Amino acid sequence: MKFVETLVIGAGPGGYVAAIRATQMGQNVTIVERNYLGGVCSNVGCIPSKVLISVGHRLEQVKHSDDLGVVAQEVKLDWTKVQEFKNGVVSKLVDGVEGLLKGNKVDIVNGEAYFIDANTVRVTEGDNVQTYTFKNAILATGSRPIEIPIFKFSERVINSTGALSLPEVPVKLVVIGGGYIGTELGSAYSNLGSQVTIIEGGKDILAGFEKQMTQVVKKNLKKKGVEVVVGASAKGVEENENGVVVTYEVGGEEKTVEANYVLVTVGRRPNTDEMGLEAVGIEFAERGLLKVDKQCRTSVQNIHAIGDIVYGPQLAHKASYEGKVAAEAIAGEKSIVDYLAIPAVCFTDPELATVGYNEEQAKAKGIEVKAAKFPFAANGRALALNAPEGFVKLVAHKEDGLLIGAQIVGAGASDMIAEMALAIEAGMNAEDIALTIHAHPTLGEITMEAAEVMIGKPIHVVKASKMLH
């Protein structure tokens, strides 16, 4: 039996960050991982999916750059090289995580953890079983794709993990679920040459984003030839040698669509089962999530939980943030979680990014707000990139202009949102942004221009009243 001061279970973006911060706080740390360092994000999630999205963009740009004077005679996609490049990126990052853990003197243990009591776990790897006792623990076990009973995962019925390593680019692909994962991967494969159909049960795709934003993405999907079916119920799938036939119902009518693969992206389930947590007395919330306080502490005082297994958006950067808070709390610091400004990004065409409140959310909270927009089409850099679609929208308190939210749709939105996250965290108002000198010509200027609209002093639009409300 080995004693560990702080035991971290799960080496994803929450776990490995928690482990490193814990060592920085002077703790002796062991991290346990059953699959791969870096977790879902680095291996079969955020990173490899962005590689495919990036490759798809490159291919799309080369194919459709005639207006810019770039005329491609023949464009070929080498799928083997794409996969090699993707795997290389993943390998570098995973090696980097391992190096960081070892460099911070974190003991890495491979295996699956099972709780014996509130201070003891059994770690199993094959025939090797080791027992660890600990003073404190941080659970960072992440989540896995939800499997629908009538869509059992197979060679042709795939989840997001399978979609990243297909043997070829499918001629036809059906996506069940129009959330951010389904829409991102659907867009990526459309750019790579697939004929894509997205089937969504709700009223619209990308439900977590404002309709004004998703309209821009939907227009682009239509231009690509992606068929989006909303208000539809997936009924079943038949597999054959060459692919699948998916049956769905929409508007009371049953329809079918053929494809090489069907990608099921209807959400993710927290990995809190089969760990012995019930026996320890840890309290569960709904859907398998764990109850935690503002220091990520569960109902068992020496065990913390972070990331996808606790309430909130299932985002890698949220998990990393919570990991730091949990490690600092264990060290006796007064750190607590503050979710005022968690950016959320969707890497569609164009990109979507949001932070803080949107107008509807603010009004639902009884907050009187004003909002201001500025279009990408009025920005020189956006025009030079041939990316005029989209806008920046700022949301602020009506009385004093204190910024409480921002929504961006357009090229580079994923990078631009950081400025607004900082502004909200720092308690800035619209005038602070307007008075900050932004380099020209850049996409960042659009944020400044939106702030100038909000304070009633726009330079590059005339009818500002239409953009301020």
Residue ranges for the known binding site for NAD(+) are 177-184, 200, 267
User: Which tokens hold the place of 222?
Assistant: 């239509």
**Residues that constitute the known binding site:** 50, 141-143, 177-184, 200, 267, 308
Nearest to residue 109, comparing CAs of 96, 98, 94, 93?
A: 98
Question: What's the alpha-carbon Rg for the chain, to the nearest Å?
Answer: 24
370 phi and psi, to 5 degrees?
-125, 150
What per-residue string of b and e applies to 435-459 under the rule 16 or more CB within 10 Å gives b? eeebeeebbbbbbbbbbbbbbeebe
Residue 279 burial (CB count, 10 A): 12
Amino acid, res. 465: S
- Residue 188 per-residue DSSP state: H
The span from the CA of 297 to the CA of 269, in Å, is 21
Instruction: Return d(Cα 231, Cα 25) in angstroms, integer.
Output: 50
Cα 128 from Cα 439, distance rounded (Å) = 58
**Cis peptide, bond prior to residue 13, ω within 30 of zero:** no
* Whole-angstrom distance, CA of residue 27 vs CA of residue 19: 9
157 token code pair = 């019925």
Backbone angles phi, psi at 272, to 5 degrees: -120, 0
**Catalytic status, residue 440:** yes
DSSP 48-91: HHHHHHHHHHHHHHHHT-GGGT---S-----HHHHHHHHHHHHH
Sign of the CA dihedral running 205, 206, 207, 213: negative
Q: Out of 57, 64, 438, 440, which one is annotated catalytic?
A: 440
Residues 6+ apart with CB under 8 A from 186: 173, 175, 178, 196, 198, 221, 226, 263
Both tokens assigned to 414: 């994923």
Residues taking part in catalysis: 440
